[in-house]
Structure formats: C-alpha cells, structure tokens
Structure 1
Amino acid sequence: MAFAPLAYVPAPEPGNGPWPTNLRRESDGTVTLAGHHLDELAQLGTPLYLVDQDDMIDRARAWTEAMAGGDVYYAGKSFLTPAVARWMVEAGLGIDTASEGELRSALAGGVRGEKIGLHGNSKSDETLRLALTNNIGRIVVDSPGEVDQIARIAADLDVVAPCFVRVTTGVHAGGHEFIATAHEDQKFGLSLATGAARDVVRAIAKNEHLSFLGLHSHIGSQILDPSGFAAAADAVIAFAGELHEDGIAVPEVDLGGGYGIQYTGEDPAPVSEADMIAGIRQALEEACEKAGIPVPRMSIEPGRSISGPAGMTLYRVGATKDVMTDDGVRRYVSVDGGMSDNARPALYGADYTALLNRDSDAELVPTRVVGMHCESGDIVVKDVALPRDVTAGDLLLVAATGAYGRSMASNYNTVRRPGVLAVSDRGTAWLVRPETWEDVLGLFPDL
C-alpha cells in the first residue's frame, strides 16, 4: 500500500513554535524538559501533563510588564491550582475565577480576596457569600437578577459588594478577523443594544450595598492581534460616555482575555504582549477622546497565553495500523490517553502537533494520533507527519495542552485523570497528583 502524498507537516523541533522555552532535543535524539529526560518523567506514569514552570511564570510576567499602569488577572479557568495561583500573584497578577472551586483554589493558594475576581452566569448564594466573606475584589454581574441577589447577600453580611458589569458589545473575534454584528444570542453578558446593560448599571449605582467599579467585555478566543479589541473598546467607551451623561463614572474597563497561541508549526505567531497591550491601550484612549471622557484604568484577563504553551502532554504509544483513505494510506497511532485528558479536538476540532522522543531515519508518513476511548472522534492530533517506524512503547509529546487540558479532563470510560507535574531545573513537583483507582472507585457508594 502506498502512503498518501505527504500533505502533513512534522512538529517543529523544540525551541520553535508551540513548545515551551526549556524543552530541548539532546544529541542522542531524546527530549528533555529543563534538563529532565522525558523517558525518566514517563516512569511516573502516562499520560502525564508536564508544565514548564519557569516558562509559565515568565509568560505571566511579560503581561504584567506590558500592562504597566493597569491590572492583569490570570484566567484561572485555563488551569488553576493553589500553587499556580501563588505563581501568578508573585508575578504581579490577580486571579480571575469562574466557579466556587476556582475561587476556593485561589484562596487555598493564599491569594488575598482583593486580588480575586469572580465571573459566572449562574452564581450560587453560597459562592457569592464565600466571595464577599473573603473581601473579593470584583464580582462580574452577568444578568439583571444578580443585582438583587448580590445586594441581599451583601446586606446580610453588612458589606458593600464591588461590581463590574459584563456587556455584550456585538463584537466577536477569533484569529485575525472580527465581526462587528449582533451577537446577542448567547448566555453571557448584558446587551448594550437593548438597554439591559444600562438598566443594570443604574440599579447597581443606586444600591447602598453595591459599588459600581467598571465595565467588562469579552469578545472571543484565540485572538492573535489587537484589531478586535479596538472595535470592542469603541462600543464599551461609547456606552461609558452615556453613563457619564447619567452622572455615573466608569473607573475601570476590563477588555477580557482570549489572547491566542500557536498550537502547531503552521499557526501564525501572535503579536507580543507589549504590542498587544499597546494596540488595545491606543484604541481605548482614542475611543475616550472621541467620547469626551477620562481614560479609565484598563484591565485584562489572559489565560491560555500563559498556561497553554507552558504545558504539554506525554503519551505512550500502544497500537499502530495503516488505514486506506481516498488519497492513499494514513497511519493511525493509538496512545494511552485521549479525549479524557484533552477534550478540545473532539469539542472544537482543535489542532495540535506531536513530537517523537527519539531520533529516527525512517521516512515521514501522514499520521493521525488517536486516543484509547470508545469514540471514533477520539482524536489527539488530527494531522501530523511522524516517522514510519513509530511503534508500541514509544513516547509522544503533544504541545500546548497547558490550557484546558487538565481543567476540562474527565473520567470517560472510567479512566484515571493524569497528574500535572511542574518541571524546572530545580526539580519536579506535583501540581495535581495523578488519580488512583481508589479515587475513581471510591466514588461508588456500593463498594
């Protein structure tokens, strides 16, 4: 059988594209992370999430340095543990949470309440009470009913709740393009077009137990340049001008997250943190000049751009086979994980790339790396060129899984979720320990 024409591309070598800064290909062909050989790390068990600790911290610091005069909140939904929360705060960031569990993780990491924000379109009384009891820095209001809910709990605790209002600007961005049309049909935010956002801001401003701190906007994900943010800034600041006429000041504008990364060698590189912030800040200042209002303090919420490239997943190869397609033969390489440790390919059709942990002189062949789950859509890497001699027992490393890998992991097919290992030249440490069979089976009350 003849293999299909080689339209797939191999993974970039370490040091390029989506790989973290401390990944190296050694002279013997093996791969190391911060001096630790992958085959040694694999003895802890695979699949295994690996985090280049210093790379992740450096990426966080790059945002805080670029954002001088503003605030950066790490989007914990991408990947959060108490240790990661500490790293982020030490790098000068706050922590953005989207659930009670994320809030508790940040607090367990020793983060002060005033450095934490809380998102969510369905916040429970228990979550809000926990937030206000710990003097949280901001609660992002997402619906009209939350105004009375937060005010009731704040009154009961005799505190004033700090509130942002999330607005729907009609701007949706992703990649290099953005669309400035009505995107009202979604669960997040309060519409500018219908007046819902204005009604909520007014209600907050009138309530003695609520403090209006600013406006929040989020326009999408995997955004690689500032152009979409410029359109969103125009809409948000135009609304801030209307509030100014009502006598309501807007001290701060949070333009959200969604900053993109490279997942494969073919993905375009995003602009630098400094250039991204400069572009957003310029758009904000120009919009304020047009609206005739003071420039508010700016904040942002990067997540995947910090955790994504710093994290990888290490798999061990199981079965391999060649499958006939319309264009020729494709090799299927099965690994010991899959959609339970990275749901994004199945959910979104997300692309990744993979690297073999050894040298090979074999020809490169079109390959699809697939998981071990009982689903035909269980794909780890859809298209990659790997050596023809990849075989059972080999180690494959998949790039850029630090964001939404472990945080979206599941026990599908009753697997154990992998652990997350922080790696640096100073040693290794578990950020999340691997699940045991006792953890999994212990959930069943009849055992």
Structure 2
Amino acid sequence: MNHDFLVGTMKINTAHHLEIGGIDTVTLTKEYGTPLFVYDVFQIKQQCQTFIQAFKELGVTAQVAYASKAFSCLAIYQLMAKEGMSLDVVSGGELYTAIQAGFPKERIHFHGNNKTEKEILEALDYQIGCFVVDNFDELALLNRLTTARKQVVNILLRVTPGVEAHTHDYIITGQTDSKFGFDLLNGQGEQAVKLAMEMPYIRLKGLHSHIGSQIFETDGFVMAIEKLLMQAAEWQQTFGFSLEILNVGGGFGIRYTEEDQPLPLAHYIQQIVSTVKEKTKQFALKLPEIWIEPGRSVVGDAGITLYEVGSQKEVPNIRNYLAVDGGMTDNIRPALYDAKYTGVLANRADETAEETYSIAGKCCESGDMLIWDLPLPKAHYQDILAVFATGAYGYAMANNYNRIPRPAVVFVENGKKQVVIQRESYENLIQLDQPLADFY
C-alpha cells in the first residue's frame, strides 16, 4: 500500500492490521460493528494547532474558525473549543448543537444564504460573536430585529470578489453568478456597505469571501485578497469604511488519492498573511484581523471509514465488483460529484495487491460506487476495508436511503476510544413515523 495515506497516528501493527490512535481497527469493528467512522483525535488537534501557531509565529491577530459543515456533533464542537478554535455554523441545527456543546458564544460565526427569522433570533438570544451577512434581505431582517431588541451585533459582509478557485482552476470573473454573497463587480458590495454603516445596531466589522474548495495553490487567495483590500481602501476614502476583519474563507485541500498534492497548511497561512501585509501597506490601510474557515483540512484525513466486505461479482474482462456493507448512505460524495478515494484491507494491510476491484455500496442504485479501481490483495468475505480521508462530508451528509441506519462514530487517541455518535437502530428509523389512521 501507499504509506503516504497513513497520517497522524495511523500505522500497520505487528498483526499486519491498520491501527489508528493506538487501537487496532479490526478490534474496533468487532466492538462497534461496521460501517464505522473512526477519527484520530491527535491528527485533528495537530491540524488545529498548525493553523493557530502559523498565525502566532507571523505576529498577526487571527481567528481560525472550524467550518463545521464538514462534520458536526457535540464532541467535535467541544474538541474545537478546547483547541482554541472559533466555529462557523450555517443553520439553526448547527447553532443548537454548538449551544448544547457549551461552545463559547463570542467565537461563533453564523453563515448561510437563507437564515430564517427564527434562526437569527436564536443566535441573537445566544449573543453569538458575528453574523456573516449574505444578502440584502438578511441585512434588512437583521436590522429590523436588532432595532426592535435594541441589541448591537457584529457583522461581516460576504462578498463575491470575482475569483473562483477549484484545485488548479482559477476563474477571474466566474463567481458573479453565485447564490452566495454581494457581488463586487456590479456594485452590490458597495451598496451593502453603505446600508450597513447606517443601521443603528449593526456594527460592520469587515468582509468575508470564500473562493472554492480543495485548493492546492495560493494564487486564488492572493487575487481575492488584492481585490478585497483595493475595494476596502476605496470605500475608506469615499465614505469612511473601516476594515477591522478580513475573512478569506477556507477550501484548503487534502489528499484523497495519489494525484492530490496539497500544500503544507502553514504555507497557505504564510502566503495569506504576507499578501494582506503587502496590500494593506500598498493601499494605506491598517492591518486587519485575519480570519480563516478550514473544515475539510481539519477533519478530512483524520477520519477513516471501516466496512465489512460482502458479495463479489466478476464481469469477465471488464470489472471485479466488491460490495461492502455501506455506500452512498455514509459517503454520498462519489455518487454526488465523482469524488475519488483510496483504501486498504485493514485486516491485511501490508499484503501485496493482486487484484483491482470496484468498490460497490449496498444501496439499490447503480451509481452507488465508492471507488472504481482499487488495487487490493485478493479479497475474502468479511475482510475489513478501510477507506481513507472520509472525515469531512461523510457522516455530515449521511442519509437513510433504503432505510439503512447511519453508522456509529468513534474518536480514538492514545489507546483510548469513545463513541461520540451512536449507531442508529431500526427503532430510530421509525421513531418519527406515524401509522396510517383515518383513511380506511
């Protein structure tokens, strides 16, 4: 196998099994069943501190907010709080989870393109640190509610700077057509700044942008920062706008397959900070506080999914199908947008690959394929397949298609283990159902 995917505490132990957090993965499957999400807490902590320390070493004031859409639950929010992270939430459900986890309210940032009045009131009641305002309707609603309550709130305005980045593909003007944010090119951004500055209980602290995901270069961030700071300088001159916070979003890439070549996390921060310093000096601006929002790069490669191998089907001279006991119900990304993964037989982790398999899920969909061409030793019934880098957008997007219960989630560190999300039961599946009553 390619040992480059053994990150954090992952290793192959003396039993020839994949180990994570000091615990044999085969042992984990015997205790907790499959499919099973396993997170390496050490790796998560390491990623958090890499971001935080990078800013500290560069001597700038910053917030690193975990983009919790990648994976949210009580335990991950509590871990993020202990690591000194801030938190990016995008719904009332994520906010509720953060509140129940006791997450520090001043470090919660509320995103989203369609926050409801109920969600905004819940956030106002909890007195969160910041709203990232996405559109004129939200700005008006927030103004009405804060005025009625006489409650001051901090906001950032999400703007689309005309830069879109996906891996190596940069589009200079491609973000104008987006459901998110105020567009800079057509003047919406300037109009929003003017309106916000006139609202009595709104404190406009700065600007936010998010240019894409799975980004393996820094060019897109450099271009976006330059556009945003140039605009901020112009607004400062024309109507006294003061940029206190610049939030450049997230999107830092991770390694899913051998083709992925992400940069070291600190390199992203170094380039972001150097660009902000250079451009603020050029445009005669004060150095703002810098915020980022990593999600995938915090938890993505810290998580693996363990499956039990079931049936096999050989299509002669075409393909060998190897089915596992999960699929698009615990990882919809391959079916949704052709996401790529790799994996290993966890119970025979150091054996030489002899076959190429296409890993099929158990859902009643032809598109329920997890990995199309995966070299493995000759697989047997009840082998354990470990798929790497499933920590982001796996459980977060899990579903009950075909009435398949969602897996358990286990955190591991230094030989200790804890179930942080229990496996759903069949009883859980029908707990909200109501039997037919009045039609016959």
TM over 0.5: yes
SS state of the match for residue 61, structure 1? helix
1:409 aligns with 2:402: no
Counterpart CA distance in 1 for 2:375 and 2:259 is: 13
Distance change >3 Å, CA 361–CA 112, structure 1 → 2:
closer
Partner residue of 1:289 out of 281, 289, 305? 281
Point out where structure 2 has 5 or more consecutive residues left out of the alignment.
none
1:67 aligns with 2:59: no
Letter in 1 for 2:394: G
Matches within 5 A, 1:294-309: 294-309=286-301
Moved over 4 A (4+): 360-363
Counterpart CA distance in 2 for 1:292 and 1:382 is: 53
SS state of the match for residue 165, structure 1? strand
1:421 aligns with 2:410: yes
SS state of the match for residue 347, structure 2? coil
Partner residue of 2:372 out of 350, 358, 382? 382
Distance change >3 Å, CA 361–CA 171, structure 1 → 2:
closer
1:338 equivalent in structure 2: 327
Counterpart CA distance in 1 for 2:70 and 2:220 is: 21
Matches within 5 A, 1:24-423: 24-43=11-30, 44-68=32-56, 69-245=61-237, 246-268=239-261, 270-324=262-316, 328-359=317-348, 364-387=354-377, 389-423=378-412
SS state of the match for residue 77, structure 1? helix
Distance change >3 Å, CA 96–CA 361, structure 1 → 2:
closer
SS state of the match for residue 258, structure 2? coil
Do 1:20 and 1:52's aligned partners in 2 also have CA atoms closer than 8 Å? Answer: no
Letter in 2 for 1:190: F
How big is each residue's C-alpha offset from its partner over 1:197-243, in whole Å with a ceiling of 9 and x where there is no partner?
A: 11111111111111101100000000122111001101111111121
1:12 aligns with 2:5: no
SS state of the match for residue 54, structure 1? helix
Do 2:26 and 2:347's aligned partners in 1 also have CA atoms closer than 8 Å? Answer: no
1:22 equivalent in structure 2: 9
Root mean square deviation of aligned Cα: 1.5
Do 2:22 and 2:415's aligned partners in 1 also have CA atoms closer than 8 Å? Answer: no
Report deviation, 1:421. Answer: 0.5
SS state of the match for residue 162, structure 2? coil
Counterpart CA distance in 2 for 1:90 and 1:442 is: 34
How big is each residue's C-alpha offset from its partner over 1:376-431, in whole Å with a ceiling of 9 and x where there is no partner?
A: 111111221112x2021110000000000000000011100011110112411122
TM-score (norm 1): 0.93
Do 2:300 and 2:390's aligned partners in 1 also have CA atoms closer than 8 Å? Answer: yes
SS state of the match for residue 412, structure 2? strand
Do 1:22 and 1:34's aligned partners in 2 also have CA atoms closer than 8 Å? Answer: yes
SS state of the match for residue 49, structure 2? helix
Report deviation, 1:250. Answer: 1.0
Do 2:133 and 2:156's aligned partners in 1 also have CA atoms closer than 8 Å? Answer: yes
Letter in 2 for 1:42: T
Counterpart CA distance in 2 for 1:316 and 1:426 is: 23
How big is each residue's C-alpha offset from its partner over 1:251-272, in whole Å with a ceiling of 9 and x where there is no partner?
A: 110000011000123321x222
Do 1:177 and 1:228's aligned partners in 2 also have CA atoms closer than 8 Å? Answer: no
Letter in 2 for 1:365: E
How many residues in Structure 1 have an aligned counterpart in Structure 2?
Answer: 429
Letter in 2 for 1:252: I
Report deviation, 1:282. Answer: 1.3
Report deviation, 1:288. Answer: 1.9
Counterpart CA distance in 1 for 2:415 and 2:151 is: 44
Report deviation, 1:362. Answer: 6.5
Point out where structure 1 has 5 or more consecutive residues left out of the alignment.
1-10
Counterpart CA distance in 1 for 2:346 and 2:303 is: 16
SS state of the match for residue 374, structure 2? strand
1:7 equivalent in structure 2: none
Report deviation, 1:188. Answer: 0.5
Report deviation, 1:158. Answer: 2.0
1:4 equivalent in structure 2: none
Report deviation, 1:180. Answer: 1.0
Report deviation, 1:99. Answer: 0.6
Do 2:252 and 2:265's aligned partners in 1 also have CA atoms closer than 8 Å? Answer: no
Distance change >3 Å, CA 426–CA 357, structure 1 → 2:
closer
Do 2:250 and 2:294's aligned partners in 1 also have CA atoms closer than 8 Å? Answer: yes
Percent of pairs identical after alignment? 35
Counterpart CA distance in 2 for 1:73 and 1:260 is: 16
Report deviation, 1:443. Answer: 2.0
Letter in 1 for 2:427: E
SS state of the match for residue 166, structure 1? strand
Counterpart CA distance in 1 for 2:215 and 2:290 is: 18
